[in-house]
Structure 1
C-alpha cells in the first residue's frame, strides 16, 4: 500500500530558497544588521478517512503577535530546546496537546522571516497515533483540519494586499471555509505547493 504522504516527502528533497513576509514587496529594504529570533512551527499531517489533512490553529485575539490569525502550532525557540525541531514539538504539545512521541519528523522547509522578526523553520511531521486535542486556554481559540489537496494546489492561492506602516504590503492567501489563511502560514504552504507542483 502506497504512502499517502510520499509526494510530500519527495517534495522535501527539491531545492528552494528561503521565504519571508516581504518577498512580495521587492521595493522594501530590510536592515542587513537586523536580529532575527529563531522559531519553529509544526506542519502536522494526519489522515482523516484515509485523506491527508494539515492541523492549523486560530490564535487568540488578545495575543501580542499575530492575534486572531490562522497559524501552525509553534513559537520561539527557548534556551532549553535542543533545536527548532524540539521547539516545534514542544509548542505543539503546549498549544494543541500533541505528544512529541506521536510525531514522525519528515523534514523541514527553508526558513521564513516574519514581519515580527522571527526566523521561522517549518518542520513537517506525520502524526502516528490518535491524540486528544486540547487547545491551550488563552492562546489558541480553535484547532481545525484542512485537506492537504486544498493546500497543495497553487491555483487556489491568490495575492492580496493591505496597508501596513503607511504602505501597501502584499501577501499570499488561501481561504478555506470560514478560515482566512494568509501571511506567513499561507506563504509557507504556497512554497510547499510549488514544490509539489514541480514533480
Structure 2
C-alpha cells in the first residue's frame, strides 16, 4: 500500500498539544529491572550509584537478549487521538483472521516474531504493523519500549509504544491472510472496572487473574483479554500515571 506522507508530526505540533506532551513524558520512561513491577519501582528508593546503575543496565540487557530471535516478538502499541475536541486517547487493535492456526479470531496488537533482518524490537513491531495492517512506519513516532512480557512457552514479547499524530494519513489496509478487522479502542478503558470480566487461573502453584474487556462499536463487539489486555493495562497505567481500579494480580511468569 502506498501511503501519502503525513504533513503532521509530533515535531510540528504545539508543545502544549496533548500528544506532544505525552511523547515528551514517555520518552523519559525507563522500564523497571527484571522481576520488578512499575509500582515497586515507584515506591522503592532508587540507588543511583554508578555501580548499581551499571549492574541494572547489564542485567536488563542480559534478560532482553537471553532468548534467540525465534523466541522473541514485538508488538506495536499505537496511540492516537479520537475524533472531536477533547476526545479520548485510543489504541489501534486488530482482530486476527479466523483461518490462522494460532489464536484465530482473537483481538491482538499488531506484531509478531522477530526476524533475522530486524535491527531491534522497534524494527520488528513497525515491520509487522506494516505487513498486517498497512501502517507505514513513517507515520509512527516511537516514544518508548516497555518491560517485556514472557509467555508460558517462553516467548518474550516486547511492547513498543508509538504515537500516530496524524490519524487521517493512515488508511487501514488489513492483510486478509492475517487480519480480519482493524479498530481502535479507548486506552483508559483498561484502567476501569466497567465492561470487565476476570478469570482465575493457576500455573506452577501460583494463582493469577486474566482480565477480559468487552468493547462495543456501532456494529461489532470485541473481547480483549489475556496478554493483550495485560499489555494495555500496563500501558494505560503508565500513560495515565495511575493504577487500574481493580486488583491486577498478573501471572508471575509474565515478568520472569
Whether these two folds match at TM > 0.5 is yes
2:188 to 149, 166, 170: 149
- The alpha-carbon deviation at position 137 of structure 1 amounts to 1.2
- 2:225 and 2:126 map into 1 onto residues whose CA distance is 23
- Show the counterpart of 2:242: 198
Q: Which has the larger radius of gyration?
A: 2
Cα shift at 1:38: 1.1
Separation in 1, partners of 2:199, 2:81: 31
Matched positions, count: 183
Is contact 1:73–1:92 with CA below 8 Å preserved after alignment? yes
Provide the residue aligned with 2:77 in structure 1.
43
Alpha-carbon distance, 1:131 to partner: 1.5
Structure richer in helix, relative to its length = 2
| d(CA) in 2 for partners of 1:172, 1:9 | 30
Query: Structure 1 residue runs of 4+, over 3 Å off?
Result: 5-12, 14-19, 33-36, 154-158, 161-164
Higher strand share: 1
Q: Identify if the C-alpha distance between structure 1 residues 59 and 116 changes in structure 2 by more than 3 Å, giving closer, same or farther.
A: farther
Give the secondary structure class of the aligned counterpart of 1:174.
Answer: strand
Post-superposition offset of 1:115: 3.4
1:139-159 C-alpha deviation (Å, 9 max, x unpaired): 1011001022323x2434553
Q: Output the TM-score relative to the length of structure 2.
A: 0.62
Q: 2:25 aligns with which of 10, 14, 23?
A: 10
The structure-2 alpha-carbon separation of the partners of 1:116 and 1:140, relative to structure 1 and needing over 3 Å to count, comes to farther
User: C-alpha displacement at 1:4, in angstroms?
Assistant: 2.2
Residues 51-108 of structure 1: CA deviation (Å, up to 9, x unaligned): 3211000011222222211100000000000001000000000000000111101101
Which range is displaced more, 78-87 or 175-184?
Answer: 175-184
Provide structure 2 residue ranges, at least 5 long, that are not aligned to the other structure: 1-13, 36-65, 244-256
Structure 1: where are the runs of 5+ without partners?
20-32
Considering only aligned residues, what root-mean-square deviation do their CA atoms show, in Å?
Answer: 3.0
Residue of structure 2 in register with 1:85 after alignment? 122
Q: Which residue of the partner structure matches residue 114 of structure 1?
A: 151
Match of 1:123 among 150, 157, 160: 160
> Does the alignment pair 1:61 with 2:76?
no
